Chain A
Amino acid sequence: MTAPATPLPGADALVRERPASLWRDTLGSILRQRNAVLGLLILGAFVFVALFADLVATHDPNETLLGIEPGVERRDGSCIHLLGCPAEKPEHIFGTDGNFRDVYSRVIHGARVSLAIGLAAITFAILVGTTIGAVAGYVGGWLDTILMRLMDVVLAFPSLLLAIAIVTALGQSLVNALLAIGVVSVPIYARVVRSSVISARENDYVTASRALGESGLGILMRRIMPNSLTPLVVQGTLGIGGAVLEIAALTFVGVTGSLTVPEWGSMIALERNQLFNAPHIIVFPGLAITLTVLGFNLLGDGLRDALDPRLNR
C-alpha cells in the first residue's frame, strides 16, 4: 500500500532491532506456547504415521494372519509384543484382534481415515459456515435473523443424534458420516464469522473502502474477512479434534455399516465383547483417538493464547 520510502537516518538500527514479519511474529508466539508445541509434536507424529502408514505398519491391516506364515502354529490374541512375548510366538507390537489381524498396523492405518475425515468435515463446515456467517453479518436484517435462527435450530439438537439421523437419511457410509459431521458443525463457524464480521463492519477503514468505491463483495473479502481468520483457525483446530471424536462415535454405534478400511471407532465396536479377556484391542485404538484429539485440543488452545492479542500480557 505504501511506496518504499527513503530510510531516515538512524532507522537502520531500529529496523534491525525488529526484523519480525507478521508471520514470523505469529510463529514465534505460537512456539512460545508449551501447549501448542506439544500439540504440534503429537499431531506431527500422527500426520507422519498417516502419510507413511504403509511403511510404518508391519502388516497389511486387512490381512487375516491365521496360519499364513510357515512354521507358525498358533497365534495368541492377547500376546502383545510391546509387553513381552515368548520368543517362539509371532511378533505383534499391539497383539492381534479377533480376526487375527495385526492391531498395530490397523491402528496405524486408522490414523489416515480419522485425520482425513476430521480435516474434510471441518473444511466443509468452515466453507459453509463462513458463507452463512459472512452473509448474515454483512447483510444483516431479516436475512441475518432467518439464517441465525436456522443455526439455532441445528444447535438445538444433540449433535450426535442429528449426525446419526443424517447418516441414516443419506445412507450408511463413511462419506455420509463425514457430511453429517460437517453439517452438524456448521453453526459454530457461522456464529464465529458473523460476530467478527459485525464487529469489523463498522470500522473506519471499511467506510473508507466503501468511499473509495470498492464493491460490497470486495470489502467483505478483503477488508472484513481477514478479521475472522484468527477465530476460525482456533475454532477449526479444536473442531477437527471434535470431528475425530464424532467419527469414532458414529462408527462405534455402527451407523456407517461395515467398513472396508480400518477405523478406530469401528475397531473398538467390533471387539467390544473381547473387553474382558483382551482389553488391548480396545485400549490401543482408544489411545490413538485420545492422543489425536488431545493434540488438536492442545494446539487449538495454544493457538488461541498465541493469536489473541487481548491475552498478550
Chain B
Amino acid sequence: MGRFLARRLLVTIPVLFGIVFIVFALARLIPGDPCRAVLGERATDAVCDDFIHRYGLDQPIPVQFGLYLGQIASGDLGESIKHSRPITTLLVERLPTTVELTAWALLFAVVVGIPLGLLSAYWRNSPVDVGTMVFANLGVSIPVFVLGLLLAFLFAIVFKDSPISLPPSGRLSSGVFVTPLAEVWGMEDVQGLPRGILDFFSGIYTFSALITGQWEELLDAARHLILPAVALGTIPLAIVARITRSSLLEVLGLDYVRTARAKGLRERTVVLRHAARNALLPVVTIIGLQLGALLSGAVLTETVFNLAGVGRTMYEAITGRDYVVIQGFTLVIAVAYVLVNLLVDVSYGILDPRVRAR
C-alpha cells in the first residue's frame, strides 16, 4: 500500500507543475492591455507604467514565471487587480458557495442515482429500468443552464403560491443572515489562517447554520440550494445510475453470486451485501471524475441562479483580464481536482486489493 501511494503521489507532481505552467501561460496569452482593462481606457501612460511595474508585468516572461512559482510556494496567490484584495480572501469568500453547491449536487446524484441504478439492474427491462434509462439518457443530454432555467420557471412561477415554491436566485432571502462561526463561538479576535478556515466554513451556510443551530436560516439556505443543486446534479445522477446499473448487471452474473444464492442467503443479502459492494467500485471512480464536470457545470449554474461562486468569479476574471484571479482560482480548482482524483485512486486501492498490485 505504501509503494502504491508513493507511486501515485510521484505521478501527481509533474501534473501539478504542468497545471501551474499552463495557468501562468494562459493568463499571459489573454490579449489586450491589462492596465487599461482594469483602470479604464483613459488611463495615462504614466499611471499604466506604474501599474505594470507594480504587478511585475514589465519583467521578462521567464522571470515572471519564476517570481510566480516562488510566490505560490509561500502560500501567496497575489492580489486581485480588479478587486484590490488578496486572492486568498476572495477564495474564502467565494469558494464556500461552490463547495456547498457541488457537494449537495453530488449528494443528490449519489443518493438518488445509486438506488435507481441498483433497482433498474435488479429488475432489468421492467418499467422501472426503462423509465430510469430514459431519464438517464435525457439527463445527460439536457444542458445544465436549460434545466436550471426550466426548474426556476417551474418552481418560482408556476408553483409560485403553493407550498413547493422555491426561490430562483441567491443564497438567502433578503434580511436573512447566517451568523458566522467566529461570532457564534466568540472567536472574533482570531486572525490569519485559522480565521480563514473558520470563515470558509461559515460561508457554507447549510453547514454552519446546522452546527450552530440556526434553524430558520438553515431552512432558508436549503430552500435556495435545492434548485441549483438539482440542476447541477442531474448529469452526474444520470451517469451514476447508468454505471451502477451496468456494473451490478455484470456482477450479478458472476459465480460467487450464484454461490451466495445457493447457500440459501436472503435475496436482500445477496444483492446488497455481496453483489452491490463489488458493483459500486467503478461508481467510486466515476464520482471522482465527475468533479471536473461539476465545476464546469457550476459556472453555468452560478450564472443561472445568480450565485457569487468560484465559477462566476472565474468567468468575470477571464473576461475582465484579471490575471491574478484567473491564475489563483484556476490553480486552486485544478489542484483540488487532481487531489480529489488522487484520493479516489487511493480509496480504490483500499477497496480493491488488485489495483495496488498493478
Binding site for B on A (CB under 8 A): 149-150, 152-161, 164-166, 168-169, 171, 241, 245, 248-249, 252-253, 255, 265, 268, 272, 275-276, 279, 282-283, 286, 289-291, 293-294, 297-298
Contact = CB atoms under 8 A, between A and B. Distances in A.
Contacts of B18: 149-150, 152-153, 156
A258 to B, nearest CB: 14
A243 to B, nearest CB: 12
Interface of B: 14-15, 18-19, 22, 26, 29-31, 137-138, 140-146, 149-150, 152-153, 156-157, 292-293, 295-297, 299-300, 303, 311, 314-315, 318-319, 326, 330, 333-334, 337-338
A289 B143 contact: yes
B295 A276 contact: no
Given A149-B14, A160-B296, A252-B300, A169 B30 contact: yes
B138 A165 contact: no
A252 B300 CA distance: 8
Most buried by B among A153, A272, A289: A153
Given A153-B19, A164-B299, A294-B137, A276 B319 contact: no
B333 A158 contact: yes
A249 B303 CA distance: 11
B333 A161 contact: yes
A241 B141 CA distance: 8
Contacts of A268: 145-146, 149
**Dominant SS at the B interface?**
helix
Contact of A165 (B311, B326, B338): B326
Contacts of A298: 137
30 contacts: A153-B19, A156-B15, A157-B19, A158-B293, A160-B299, A161-B299, A164-B314, A165-B26, A165-B330, A166-B26, A169-B26, A169-B30, A169-B31, A171-B31, A245-B141, A248-B143, A249-B144, A249-B299, A252-B300, A253-B300, A255-B318, A276-B157, A282-B146, A282-B149, A282-B150, A286-B149, A290-B138, A293-B143, A297-B137, A298-B137
A290 B146 contact: yes
Where chain A touches its partner, the secondary structure class is helix
Nearest to A296: B141
A245 B299 CA distance: 14
Given A158-B292, A171-B31, A298-B137, A152 B15 contact: yes
A157 B292 contact: yes
A265 B300 CA distance: 12
Given A160-B300, A164-B315, A252 B145 contact: yes
A255 B299 CA distance: 12
Looking at B141, B142, B299, the one whose CB has the most chain A CB atoms below 10 A away is B141
6 closest A-B pairs by CB: A160-B296, A286-B146, A153-B18, A158-B295, A294-B141, A293-B141
Contacts of A294: 137-138, 141
Contacts, number: 131
A179 to B, nearest CB: 13
B150 A286 contact: yes
Contacts of A150: 18
Given A249-B143, A279-B150, A297-B141, 17 more contacts: A153-B19, A154-B22, A156-B334, A158-B295, A158-B296, A158-B299, A160-B299, A161-B333, A164-B299, A168-B319, A169-B30, A249-B145, A252-B300, A265-B143, A268-B149, A275-B153, A293-B142
Contacts of A158: 292-293, 295-296, 299, 333, 337
B24 to A, nearest CB: 12
Nearest to B329: A161
Nearest to B12: A152
Contact of B292 (A155, A245, A255, A290): A155
A161 B330 contact: yes
B15 to A, nearest CB: 5
A43 to B, nearest CB: 12
Of A158, A159, A164, most B-chain CB atoms within 10 Å: A158
A165 B19 CA distance: 14
Nearest to A167: B318
Which among B138, B145, B318, B319 has the greatest number of chain A C-beta atoms within 10 A? B145
Given A161-B311, A164-B318, A253-B303, A156 B149 contact: no
Contacts of A265: 143
Contacts of B303: 252-253
A122 B26 CA distance: 22
Most chain A CB within a 10 A radius of its CB, from B143, B153, B311, B334:
B143
Q: Which of A165, A169, A252, A253 has the most CB of B within 10 A?
A: A165
Contacts of B156: 276
A293 B137 CA distance: 10
A275 B152 contact: yes
A223 B83 CA distance: 58
B149 A275 contact: yes
B26 A161 contact: no
Contacts of A272: 149
A275 B158 CA distance: 12
A255 B319 CA distance: 8
Contacts of A153: 15, 18-19, 22
A248 B296 CA distance: 13
A156 B338 CA distance: 6
A151 to B, nearest CB: 10
A249 B137 contact: no
A94 to B, nearest CB: 15
